[in-house]
Structure 1
């Protein structure tokens, strides 16, 4: 069960997929968007994401070719014009040139217009007539966003030069001033080039705030010259299991990475050119393990070893000594010199106070300061650091846990545990960024597809991101002004490479952009789905490895196949039309349209793909069906017995390259095959893997359940019902075979027959490792001679 990398879109898809048909008229197939010109003629609307605030189509259009001159009026306009020319050269590969001629007739004009309101620096106007294109704004920021919209207009057509831009008038301004994306570089490290690629795409989605999570338990990623061990020690960890061992030498192989201050200045400058402000995060007082590993005197436990390769909610906190406060102030002083933006993020989340409660020294320090509770102690620390930041002309922002114990006077709140924290902060007169885990956490999977990469199996779908309304109900007009905007967060525990980061962000960033920029009344899910295929083509042209899973087809079966047939259901997560074949050929636009479950004769090969405007949106899903394959299920096809704490976990080996992925409930590792038909089945074969158990779960740890082992290494148990009687049990070995797996065969009692909810359980507490199901097969009894 090796997970393969996301497939790219098929190369034959043309850029104008959403523009080819005015109405497909088929079930599940969104029709192309239409609008009306002044004359009443139907015009297919351009595929713009995010939707502009106001757009009025007109008659005719402007033809753009390599001979079209580009004019700039002023130095800011020239900068934007050059950025537009560079973007047009990438896609649609149009080689434009800046023209210094005094006249701007018959060309593309970028102009700073001093008559436009200066209070709206991100607003712009875009006029397209048969004679010319003019983009104007009061500020370079708005002019840049106008250039992005014009680029999207150029890439909404058929792709052949000359390009026709429809005549229209756009007057556009963002709904929110904070349009953010957070990327965690602490858990897994991204290169400077990869960070710049994220920034480039943010700008093309009109996002303007990059929240950079630079420190955490698993890594300290920012160079602090006064404290070099932060990166020398805290910037490295040895991964658990085989992933932390050099396959050639057998020695530990550390995972390291940090950004030098020079590199950070380079990234900040790159972001500034794209009108993006970077908000750095230095997390405290929790998520501090990497810093404490580097300088143990900062912690509560003295010189005890500090692990950096465990995931979850850890209990290490900074201590509350004056020397530690000064350390944090010194760190922030260097951070301030690198990031010119208004806000510095100080975290404040998931700071489990067990170490503080158990420490006589911390308790004595609290008494010295006249502080009654640990929450007030955290508030005291953050208030002091906020005062330090304000003195340096910066403001503090933190996760909504900073509300406990009292907010620092000028702090802003990032509401992640829901909307309640944001509402409470706004009602107290504090600025707020809405970023709820339920709707905007991009480390959650996008679909239920088995092709999803490792991560948290809870889903935040594209539609959920799109549907999220950032302005909470119940705030009056004054309180609403404190809602700065909206942000999605990308945590990278499970994102070992940049391709997975892209899978998480794209295309959900497009949905985020529309919530952050477009007026609420302009949002339209069906219209978004019609514009999205063109956006995917832009991603492909720019080399973005966006998620394929929302555009693939899920193939589900019902029935045992023992009567020579099986029922097949096909679905696409976004509701695009599905076309299929059963003869082994690739589906095409002329293939049958799936409308109801199919009765398929065995053996067969079902192939299915989602289509829009006659073009496939992703490579076809393929499933071979025969009597033998229907007797096997992998872990993805099994349900979890309880699903208390679900994860899709990657194997620890091989050290490099692709690894197996296991669906696991780490609180109750038990997998269920509902309604397994055991008539004629003599035995059950299970293929299992063994992965490191390297989770710190704080107060949730006691909830993990183990069934007691009867032998040295535990047993594989097959039960009828997860709490039902045992059907079979075989001892587990001490370890796996060389490939990291073991195959076990459990004989069933002779009288076993009928339908059973088969549950696969591994007994015993086998930490620091755990067994995980890879697949289960029903083995028929041998025919009688």
Structure 2
């Protein structure tokens, strides 16, 4: 007897049976689900429902595009442009009027909108393509579904027969680009907007102003672009580490640029045609050093280059806001205008006579309420312009005006608070949605701001926090990815950081949790590299280096080991004895449990028979896992990791101190006593620390360890001195080895803080 495994069902058959006949029988017995069929057409984001048909439709020179309403003429042109067709476009009075074959029909069907907002249908047969949408935005989304389908095919002019029903999970599906730190040309922004449309995103958040540069022409204040748009150094990092000065346009040493109002209007029209709204961001009251450098009368000090926050006691400040926002509203028809509102340093307000007088006159409690007062006045300005305002979650401080929306970036807490108080929310937490962070091992990548967000982590995000009640969940409008560009000076580098992570975010924004599946997405993603290549995108290429994860499992007193590859279908070889893997080594097929602290080494086996680079990890289920830890100095409230169990939980941290495993100490030493369950022979202790000097994370100066059997009489301490220089700005994760060679139960370990933050992830006992 032999067997076949089909759809997870094992069927046994006799070798004498005609196998082809058996397979035909099986085909009649099994009806493939929509989910299974969906995998045969690699759409991203995953549609609501899709069924594959027989045959295909061929786009060619005789293809005709029909539209039933004159308002769809522009959409027909968009379809022809997106598919790169030389097709005839005809208006037809009724849906039945069409050619006999090889045609595409566009039709509005308002009943679809009554069923689901943004709903559309696509049907492809051998003879025709029919697109129906509940509204014009749905028609545009359907058109770009078709464009995507074309671009992922080997023959882009031959489209497989199918029937598709689709609509979005969230109304707001956004991408944010910071053009203040680095200026990017309109042509690049058009390219991004095209890609957003292909992946069903509908909001471009344009971060136009910030300390490093003002990027939008404002006719009332010409110095904003004559001077504040041009800095003294080529890169943000060079400028930030200098005196942070600006130069006049035309100066041979000036770097920067700006968008004229006509250019901005052009981009707005370009985006709207593709179903995308542009929300401009004009930063206030903080992040405005570039404004105050050229209009210092708006600063508390009255002097340039002294602060980054507008004076909230000065009426000229609100005159500036009113004139600027008036010009902005005339360019951008969006319902919302973003006012920033984040990270305002209120120090200048505390010593400013005008600000303090304003606080006293209005009976405000403090500077937080002064900021709230300023934000509410901006809201009143926007209300007169028939607009709403949205800001980063700091606008919650001191109270929030009715109608304001919140972008939650410092985790989800701001978004939760806003939704619970009846305000609309866009979720964009830095842990999942900040694409300026590394997407793989930093040692293999160009410099970034820090952190670690691989594509799988982006994909795993759910924008609706579980703590919200059902009636509160409706305030979550959607989700947004953000690209801040401090370390991203070129369009090529920007594309590298955005793609393919934006594809994962698109599925988070569009597809319900029930239809999401990482393995399925990872498989579908492979077809989209062809699309990215055809669109000329400098995307991040999956590297051959592997990623080893090991999580403690107390019931088995072992680590659960998982080995991941960024390359689909990779053959992975591994060893546990410290030797490099080769073709004869065990093949990794599924996560496995491993006792102790062996060194796991793994590498890809290429189809050529060569081995890829070796990745290694020492497992962390050591003698001290689960021990009691007494803290003689408190850890940071900002970075508590897993609390008092963090340093001996058998879990190492990743490449980012924000992953919940690195415990932070700010201005205080790490000083703990670890009590094992009993007296044990300990040969050494490894204390792992991180250094990343950009955000102020440093290795300890020195580390001490002493031990005791009874917890009272301790040995003389052994000492390790850090010899790694602070001048090394790369990410360093270093284990300091403390020699013990003693039988003891209690171990006092002290790491002397250098400056800034000290981060530790595990104290390993051997």
Say which of 136, 145, 148 aligns to 1:152: 148
Aligned residues: 593
Per the alignment, in what secondary structure is the counterpart of residue 450 of structure 1? helix
Matches within 5 A, 1:353-372: 353-372=346-365
Question: Counterparts of 1:524 and 1:434 in 2: how far apart (Å)?
Answer: 21
Alpha-carbon distance change, 447 to 99 in structure 1, aligned in 2, over 3 angstroms:
same
- What is the CA distance between 1:196 and its match in structure 2? 1.1
Partner of 2:416: 423
176-185 or 58-67, larger mean C-alpha shift: 58-67
Per the alignment, in what secondary structure is the counterpart of residue 445 of structure 1? coil
Partner of 2:182: 188
Query: Do the aligned partners of 1:108 and 1:132 also contact (CA within 8 Å) in 2?
Result: yes
**Alignment partner of 1:263 is 2:256:** no
Question: Counterparts of 2:308 and 2:289 in 1: how far apart (Å)?
Answer: 9
Per the alignment, in what secondary structure is the counterpart of residue 111 of structure 1? strand
Question: Counterparts of 1:727 and 1:406 in 2: how far apart (Å)?
Answer: 47
Query: Do the aligned partners of 2:113 and 2:119 also contact (CA within 8 Å) in 1?
Result: no
- What is the CA distance between 1:508 and its match in structure 2? 0.9
Matches within 5 A, 1:160-309: 163-166=158-161, 168-239=162-233, 253-306=253-306
Matches within 5 A, 1:456-471: 456-471=449-464
Partner of 2:47: 52
**Alignment partner of 1:411 is 2:407:** no
- What is the CA distance between 1:278 and its match in structure 2? 0.7
Say which of 82, 87, 95 aligns to 2:82: 87
Per the alignment, in what secondary structure is the counterpart of residue 201 of structure 2? coil
Alpha-carbon distance change, 574 to 524 in structure 1, aligned in 2, over 3 angstroms:
same
- What is the CA distance between 1:428 and its match in structure 2? 1.2
Question: Counterparts of 1:210 and 1:68 in 2: how far apart (Å)?
Answer: 33
- What is the CA distance between 1:359 and its match in structure 2? 2.6
Unaligned runs of 5+ in 1: 1-20, 24-34, 246-250, 307-313, 557-568, 582-590, 598-605, 625-640, 648-664, 669-690, 709-722, 741-762, 766-785
Partner of 1:325: 318
Alpha-carbon distance change, 643 to 515 in structure 1, aligned in 2, over 3 angstroms:
closer
Deviations 1:207-261 (A, max 9, x none): 001111111111111111100111222112223899679xxxxx98332211111
Query: Do the aligned partners of 2:292 and 2:308 also contact (CA within 8 Å) in 1?
Result: no
Deviations 1:621-669 (A, max 9, x none): 6699xxxxxxxxxxxxxxxx9999989xxxxxxxxxxxxxxxxx9x99x
Query: Do the aligned partners of 1:608 and 1:621 also contact (CA within 8 Å) in 2?
Result: yes
Question: Counterparts of 1:22 and 1:65 in 2: how far apart (Å)?
Answer: 37
- What is the CA distance between 1:338 and its match in structure 2? 0.7
Partner of 2:569: 577
Partner of 2:388: 395
Query: Do the aligned partners of 2:294 and 2:304 also contact (CA within 8 Å) in 1?
Result: no
**Alignment partner of 1:98 is 2:89:** yes
- What is the CA distance between 1:498 and its match in structure 2? 1.1
Question: Counterparts of 2:269 and 2:71 in 1: how far apart (Å)?
Answer: 16
Alpha-carbon distance change, 242 to 322 in structure 1, aligned in 2, over 3 angstroms:
closer
Partner of 1:587: none
Say which of 100, 103, 106 aligns to 1:108: 103
Alpha-carbon distance change, 304 to 73 in structure 1, aligned in 2, over 3 angstroms:
closer
- What is the CA distance between 1:39 and its match in structure 2? 8.3
Question: Counterparts of 1:543 and 1:344 in 2: how far apart (Å)?
Answer: 32
Question: Counterparts of 1:492 and 1:187 in 2: how far apart (Å)?
Answer: 6
Matches within 5 A, 1:4-19: none
Question: Counterparts of 2:371 and 2:355 in 1: how far apart (Å)?
Answer: 12
Query: Do the aligned partners of 1:77 and 1:110 also contact (CA within 8 Å) in 2?
Result: no
For the aligned residues, what is the CA RMSD? 4.7
**Alignment partner of 1:474 is 2:467:** yes
Query: Do the aligned partners of 1:125 and 1:137 also contact (CA within 8 Å) in 2?
Result: yes
More relative contact order in 1 or in 2 (CA 8 Å, sep 6+)? 1
Question: Counterparts of 1:45 and 1:95 in 2: how far apart (Å)?
Answer: 29
Alpha-carbon distance change, 105 to 610 in structure 1, aligned in 2, over 3 angstroms:
farther
Matches within 5 A, 1:406-555: 406-548=399-541, 550-554=542-546
Per the alignment, in what secondary structure is the counterpart of residue 376 of structure 2? helix
Deviations 1:180-212 (A, max 9, x none): 111111111111111111111111111001111
Partner of 1:771: none
Deviations 1:418-442 (A, max 9, x none): 1121121112111111111111111
Question: Counterparts of 2:315 and 2:602 in 1: how far apart (Å)?
Answer: 66
- What is the CA distance between 1:576 and its match in structure 2? 3.0
Query: Do the aligned partners of 1:182 and 1:490 also contact (CA within 8 Å) in 2?
Result: yes
Query: Do the aligned partners of 1:445 and 1:457 also contact (CA within 8 Å) in 2?
Result: yes
Unaligned runs of 5+ in 2: 1-5, 9-25, 243-250, 549-560, 574-582, 590-600, 616-651, 659-663, 668-691, 703-717, 730-752, 756-766
Give the TM-score normalised by the residue count of structure 1: 0.66
Question: Counterparts of 1:361 and 1:183 in 2: how far apart (Å)?
Answer: 35
